Amino acid sequence: MHRVVVMGVSGSGKSTVGQLLSARLGLPFVEGDELHPPHNVRKMAAGTPLTDEDRAGWLDAVAARLVAAPGGTVVSCSALKRRYRERLRVDVPTLRFVHLHGPRELLAQRLAGRRGHYMPTSLLDSQLQTLETPGPDEFALSLSIEHPPETLAALAAAALQA
């Protein structure tokens, strides 16, 4: 049984890689963005970064979805700070993270080309500033988004199944 969070800043491919990974593992996929309360979505759409307080309820919702999946699941969630990841591990101590990262220019290019999403490119820098790269003690798999999503999902699945 795998409970996995595919994490990273906006534009890193969390949803795409998460869906591909869930298919490889035979697990359901949960889009973490859909768990944000309307207040958070309005703030982000207006170009206002979320605070720790804004994220608290959302992280609780993500944790609840992880716990509610006894057979395992893959969830996309930015999980930008260590304390956010620790919050998720309180309820799921065996939780694994797949951290997608890449150059700012590539992330900005992806965000600029994205349609129908509330997260504006203007919030990329605040997300990059907020990001606390997972430490070695967090047992997170770190993958560069310079690889195709299919490759990233295959690498993540192999590491999780090893």
Most confidently predicted of 47-61, 122-136, 137-151: 137-151
**What are the start-end ranges of the E strands in the chain?**
3-7, 29-31, 73-76, 96-101, 140-144
Whichever domain contains 106, its CATH number is 3.40.50.300
Number of domains into which the chain is organized: 1
List Cβ neighbours of 155 (8 Å cut-off, separation of 6 or more).
141, 143, 147
Domain encompassing residue 12: 3-161
List Cβ neighbours of 41 (8 Å cut-off, separation of 6 or more).
118
Which amino acid, residue 82? R
pLDDT tens for each residue of 43-102:
888 888 889 999 999 999 999 999 999 899 999 999 999 999 999 999 899 999 999 999
The whole-model pTM stands at 0.92
